[in-house]
Structure formats: C-alpha cells, structure tokens
C-alpha cells in the first residue's frame, strides 16, 4: 500500500500546528509485508523527534546533540528491504549530490536491530551518498527513537526459509539545526527543487 507524497512548498517552510493525523493514518493503513509511505506534511515540532543514542558503523555513539547546529534528515528502514528503502535512499542521495557544499547529514536508522548491526548498516549505506549515516543500536534504543519519531515498525511472520520482512512506515523527516521537526520531505519532485528547499536551511 502506498500513499502518494505531495504538497511541496517552494518557499522556505516553517513549522505549523498540524496534527499527527498523517502518521496515524499511516499506521492504520499498513499492509502486510509492505512499507507505508506517508503524505508529506507538518506536525507540531515538539511532537516528533527528541533525544536518542545510537551507534554508527565505526562503533562510535551518535546522539541528537551531535547533530545540533545543522539541519539533518532522518529515515527509518532496514537492509533487507527489497525496494522502498533502497529507492528512498537513492532519492535522498540524488538530492544531496546537487548540494555538494552543504554539510547536511541524513540518518538511516534501522527498524531491524536483530539483523542490522552497526557494521551492516555502514556497509549498506556505502552504496549511497557519503553524508548518509547508517545507525543501529539495542532493541531498546531503536524502540526509543521509533517512539520519538512516531514510527510504525513490526516484524513480519517468518517465511519457510526462516527469513522475515519488516512492516514499517516510510517517511523522510526534515529536522532543523536545533533538532526540531520541520516537515516530512517530499521526494516526488525534481531533485533540484528538493535540494533548493534543503539549502534554504543553511
């Protein structure tokens, strides 16, 4: 099931007092084994985000405090995802490559810490723009950041070979330099538009 992403703003966006109806709808409309893509929009900035502690591929800890001072993106997924995750990371990479002088970072946070070690996440994101950082953590740490970002994630039933998929919401969060939520980023636009919007935050 895939909800169309739309409603891009060409001017520099500002947080507005919209409810979490979009993300609630995402949870309500999930399909088994299929990632859910929400319509981009805005919610009260204090309702999405917050403190987190995760681990990067080099074994070093990364926290929300380490990202203060520059805007950043956050996307949740997993390395065994067959289509939505690699497609979204490729779209993010395409936009970032159009702004090579901007030190924006994009976090790819696993929803599958059982399989996605920090090293596995680092290896996976090496195929994309180097400003994308793969992050993992303990199940408790992942659950905490999922809660903070209102992310839906659930392990699917095991297949005959013992493998499994993850049902998860698929939203790219744009956070400002103070770590406050701005909006869910619309990637279904020309990449130059996306890059221009991101560059406006520097």
Q: Does the pLDDT of residue 23 top 90, yes or no?
A: no
Q: Does the pLDDT of residue 13 top 80, yes or no?
A: no
The burial of 72, by beta-carbon neighbours within 10 Å (0-12 exposed, 13-18 middle, 19 or more buried), is given as: buried
Please report, for the domain that includes residue 34, its CATH number: 3.40.30.10
- For Cα atoms 153, 75, 202, give the angle at the middle one, nearest 5 degrees: 155
- Domain extent for 147: 21-199
Other beta carbons less than 10 A from residue 79's beta carbon? 19
* Residue 10 DSSP SS3: coil
Q: Does the pLDDT of residue 10 top 50, yes or no?
A: no
The answer to whether residue 15 is domain-embedded is no
The answer to whether residue 69 is domain-embedded is yes
197: left (phi over 0), alpha (psi -120 to 50) or beta: alpha
**Number of domains forming the structure of the chain:** 1
Percent of the chain exceeding pLDDT 70 equals 77
The answer to whether residue 63 is domain-embedded is yes
The answer to whether residue 11 is domain-embedded is no
The answer to whether residue 7 is domain-embedded is no
CA of 37: how far to CAs of 44, 85, 150, in Å?
20, 11, 13
Cβ atoms 12, 176 nearer than 8 A: no
The answer to whether residue 8 is domain-embedded is no
* Residue 192 DSSP SS3: helix
């Amino acid at each position: 099931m895939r909800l169309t992403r739309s409603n891009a703003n060409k001017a520099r966006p500002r947080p507005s007092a919209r409810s979490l109806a979009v993300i609630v709808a995402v949870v309500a409309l999930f399909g088994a084994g299929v990632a859910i893509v929400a319509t981009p929009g805005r919610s009260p900035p204090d309702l999405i985000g917050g403190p987190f502690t995760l681990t990067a591929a080099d074994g070093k800890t990364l926290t929300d405090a380490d990202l203060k001072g520059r805007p950043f993106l956050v996307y949740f997924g997993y390395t065994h995802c067959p289509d939505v995750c690699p497609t979204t990371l490729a779209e993010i990479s395409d936009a970032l490559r159009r702004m090579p002088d901007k030190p924006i970072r994009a976090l790819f946070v696993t929803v599958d810490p059982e399989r996605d070690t920090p090293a596995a996440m680092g290896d996976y994101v090496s195929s994309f723009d180097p400003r994308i950082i793969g992050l993992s953590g303990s199940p408790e740490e992942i659950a905490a950041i999922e809660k903070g970002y209102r992310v839906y994630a659930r392990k699917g039933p095991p297949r005959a070979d013992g493998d499994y998929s993850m049902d998860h919401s698929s939203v790219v969060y744009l956070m400002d330099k103070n770590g406050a939520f701005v909006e869910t980023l619309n990637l279904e636009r020309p990449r130059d538009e996306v890059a221009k919007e991101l560059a406006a935050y520097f």
